[in-house]
Amino acid sequence: MDSLIIILIVMLLSSGVLLFLWPHKRKPAGAGKKKEKPRGVPDSASVKDGLFSLKHGFEEELKRLRAELEKANDDYQLLHDEMEKELNVKRRQEEEFKKEIQRLKGWGDKEKSELDKLRKENNSLQSRFLQTQKDAEKEFSSNLALRRELQEKEKHIQDISRRNKELCEKLRDTENREAVLKKVSAEQGKALSEQRRRAAESEWISKEEYTRVLVLLEEKNGELDKLKTGRE
């Protein structure tokens, strides 16, 4: 940008010098008569006015270019400062990123060690679980056998209880029958005593009657003995 301004200034100065010198050329020798001014050739005043206007225009353009240059320099400096700040931020981020990478790397090594440890523990737990599962299956089989045995014993106990109940009922029946027989035997004994008493009083009893009563008494006593034996 500075080089462009310098080139423009040099061009302006060169053009001004040429325009200033052009209307003052020397007349050729021997020219005594005043020649007419050619048409289209500017006079000295017009050239000066044109040069002044051109110079003024170039000065204004130069001011504008300088203002744009200053603005461009300010913008460049602002952009440079912003880029410098951003670059510093990026550098800090890069340093933090490197530190984070190192931290993560150390964390990764530590996590790898922990992961290996957890894998070993997991394998150990899995082996223990499989062994526990086998033991549980074995225990279940054993419990199943014990349960079956218990069911059989319970069934056997129920059978025994049922038999005991039946025996108790039979015993009650036997006791009832024994009581009845005892009562009958007592009544028959009483009747026999009464017959004997009567016989003693009458001093005579038929042999058939005596034999019948005696046989009946022996039968009742035999039944009573059987009941006692069955009860024992």
C-beta of residue 72 within 8 angstroms of C-beta of residue 5? no
Q: Give kind and range of the element (H or E) at residue 122.
A: helix 44-202
Q: What is the pLDDT of residue 192?
A: 67
Give mean pLDDT, residues 166-193.
72
Amino acid identity of residue 19, one-letter, is L
Alpha-carbon distance of 68 to 109, in angstroms, equals 59
C-beta of residue 189 within 8 angstroms of C-beta of residue 213? no
Q: What is the pLDDT of residues 36-64, one digit of tens each?
A: 545 555 566 666 666 677 777 778 878 88
Q: Assign 106 a pLDDT band (cuts: 50, 70, 90).
A: confident
Position 175 pLDDT exceeds 80: no
For the ranges 40-44, 126-130, 170-174, which has the lowest average pLDDT? Answer: 40-44
Alpha-carbon distance of 199 to 206, in angstroms, equals 9
Sequence-distant (6+) residues with CB within 8 A of 34 are none
**Domain extents in the chain:** 173-231
